[in-house]
Amino acid sequence: MNGSVASFDVVAGAAPSSAVEAFNEDGVVGLRDSATPDWLATVEQGITAALSGASADLDVVKKDGDTGRFSFSSQAWRTVEPFRRFIFESPLPDLVWPFLQSSTLTLFYDFLLIKEAGSNSAATPWHQDHAYYPLQGHKVINCWTALDPIPEETALRFWKGSHRPGIVYRASNFEAPDTDYRHVRKERPAIPDIDSDASAEILVAPMEPGDMLIWSSRTFHAAPGNHLNQRRAAFSVNWAGDDVTYEDVAALETYRDANLMTGDRIEGEKFPLVRSA
Ligand SMILES: O=C(O)CCC(=O)C(=O)O
């Protein structure tokens, strides 16, 4: 590890311009206490509902030898009312919009991720979120709020500045990193061996509940499994900006909209426009 992700305080509901500069430079930035305890409690209500059947798209995985499960769910805002409130009614959209540097702010999808205590094998290999998306354009960000303390041992890692060349590499297959992802695009370059590259600066991001990370969909990141004796949960919201258009290629249903064609703007019922200047 070469350092920590730069972190900033939220003042009067806004991030300082230095946070946007750090995001542009590093491809990732931290905002401390971005969500109040009340809004975190709302997200927790959403988690309870999602895990009790309200999310149509919930995966629960328990790997051999692990004592804890790894659960994740996408696009749950459509059926989980507390998630919908957090996304549309909390200060979140106004806080993150400046990071897109866009005249519009469009909800792409939400993602719940829970690594229970002892989900040792639930490691996340190096990847760029954009590799999975049927999207063209650069203005796509992941805004990832921690619900639990996440110490360095289980924290996300980022390859500093890896968004800047703009290249999208192949998607990694999370379930079996040595095999091809089901929608792999072979025309893209293979993911480099980041761990063996001494010139790749790696930033780690320990967090407290309510802290948020914002990263570009082109920034490489990875995370270990959770070998600790405490839950490691996060709720992330992925947003798209005004340079983003649809690309009609094979991808997970979460990211696709059958009504769209290549070149279309993505705003609509599935990906709602949330702010516009
Ligand atoms: O926390 C993790 O294990 C991975 C999170 C991540 O890669 C993501 O949300 O895109």
pLDDT in tens, the chain (277 residues): 689 999 999 998 999 999 999 999 999 999 999 999 999 999 999 999 999 999 989 999 999 999 999 999 999 999 999 999 999 999 999 999 999 999 999 999 999 999 999 999 999 999 999 999 999 999 999 999 999 999 999 999 999 999 999 999 999 998 888 899 989 999 999 999 999 999 999 999 999 999 999 999 999 999 999 999 999 999 999 999 999 999 999 999 999 999 999 999 999 999 999 999 9
The tally of domains found in the chain comes to 1
- For ligand 1, which residues put their CB under 6 angstroms from it? 111, 113, 124, 129, 142, 144, 156, 221, 223, 236
pTM greater than the 0.75 cutoff: yes
Q: Nearest Cα to 56, choosing from 41, 89, 78?
A: 78
CA atoms 161, 122, 152, 12: torsion sign: positive
In sequence order, the 6+-apart residues with CB closer than 8 A to the CB of 42 are: 82, 85, 86, 90
Q: Nearest Cα to 265, choosing from 136, 94, 166, 140?
A: 136
Question: Ligand 1: distance of its center to the CA of 130 in Å?
Answer: 13
Ligand 1: which of 73, 156, 213 to mutate, most ligand atoms within 8 Å of CB?
Answer: 156
How far apart are alpha carbons 93 and 107 in whole angstroms?
A: 9
How far apart are alpha carbons 14 and 240 in whole angstroms?
A: 19
Q: How far apart are the first and last CA of the chain?
A: 40
- CATH, residue 173: 2.60.120.620
Question: Which residue range is the domain that position 110 belongs to?
Answer: 3-276
